[in-house]
Structure 1
Amino acid sequence: MKKWAYLLGGVLIGAVVATTGNAFADTIKSLVGQTVAGEYTVKVNGSELAENAIVVDGKAHVPLRAVSDSLGAGIKVDGKTIQIETQSSAKSPVETKKNPQQESENNQVYTQNIEARITSIKSYKSFWENSLKGAEDSLVKQNKRIDELTNLPASNDPITQENRKRSLASAQETIEENSKQITEYKGKIAEYDEKIAKLEAELEASNK
Structure 2
Amino acid sequence: MKKWSYLLIGMLFGVVVATAGSAFADQIKSLVGQTVAGEYTVKVNGSALAENAIVVDGKAHVPLRAVSDSLGAGVKVDGKTIQIDTQTSVESSVETKEPKKNAQLESENSQIYTQNLKAMITSTEGDKAFWERLLSDTENSQVKYNKRIEELTNLPASKDSVTQETRKKSLAHAQDMIEENNKKIAEYKDKISKYDEDIAKLEAQLAASNK
Offset, 1:96: 7.1
Query: Which residue of structure 2 aligns with residue 147 of structure 1?
Result: 150
**Pairing of 1:12-31 with structure 2 (within 5 A):** none
Provide, for residues 101-149 of structure 1, a one-character-per-residue CA deviation record: whole Å limited to 9, x for no partner. Answer: 2211111110000000011111110110011001100110000000000
**TM-score normalised by L of structure 1:** 0.53
Residues in 1 aligned to 2:183 and 2:149: alpha-carbon distance in whole angstroms: 18
Query: Which residue of structure 1 aligns with residue 13 of structure 2?
Result: none
Query: Aligned to 1:171, which of 170, 174, 182?
Result: 174
Offset, 1:164: 0.3
- What is the RMSD computed on CA atoms of the aligned residues? 1.4
**Structure 2 residue 183 is the aligned partner of structure 1 residue 194:** no
Identity %: 64
> Per the alignment, in what secondary structure is the counterpart of residue 201 of structure 2?
helix
Structure 1 segments unaligned to the other structure (5+ residues): 1-94
**Structure 2 residue 124 is the aligned partner of structure 1 residue 121:** yes
Query: Which residue of structure 2 aligns with residue 24 of structure 1?
Result: none
Residues in 2 aligned to 1:111 and 1:96: alpha-carbon distance in whole angstroms: 24
Letter aligned with residue 204 of structure 1: A
Letter aligned with residue 103 of structure 1: E
> Per the alignment, in what secondary structure is the counterpart of residue 152 of structure 1?
coil
Structure 2 segments unaligned to the other structure (5+ residues): 1-96
Query: Which residue of structure 2 aligns with residue 45 of structure 1?
Result: none
Q: Mark the structure with the bigger radius of gyration.
A: 2
Query: Aligned to 1:132, which of 121, 135, 139?
Result: 135
Query: Which residue of structure 2 aligns with residue 66 of structure 1?
Result: none
**TM-score normalised by L of structure 2:** 0.52
Query: Which residue of structure 1 aligns with residue 188 of structure 2?
Result: 185
Q: Which of 1 and 2 has higher RCO (CA within 8 Å, sep 6+)?
A: 1
Residues in 2 aligned to 1:201 and 1:187: alpha-carbon distance in whole angstroms: 21
Query: Which residue of structure 1 aligns with residue 38 of structure 2?
Result: none
Letter aligned with residue 187 of structure 2: E
Residues in 1 aligned to 2:121 and 2:139: alpha-carbon distance in whole angstroms: 26
Residues in 2 aligned to 1:138 and 1:177: alpha-carbon distance in whole angstroms: 11
Provide, for residues 159-186 of structure 1, a one-character-per-residue CA deviation record: whole Å limited to 9, x for no partner. Answer: 0000000000000000000000000000
Deviant stretches of 4+, over 6 Å = none
Residues in 1 aligned to 2:124 and 2:206: alpha-carbon distance in whole angstroms: 15
How many pairs does the alignment contain? 114
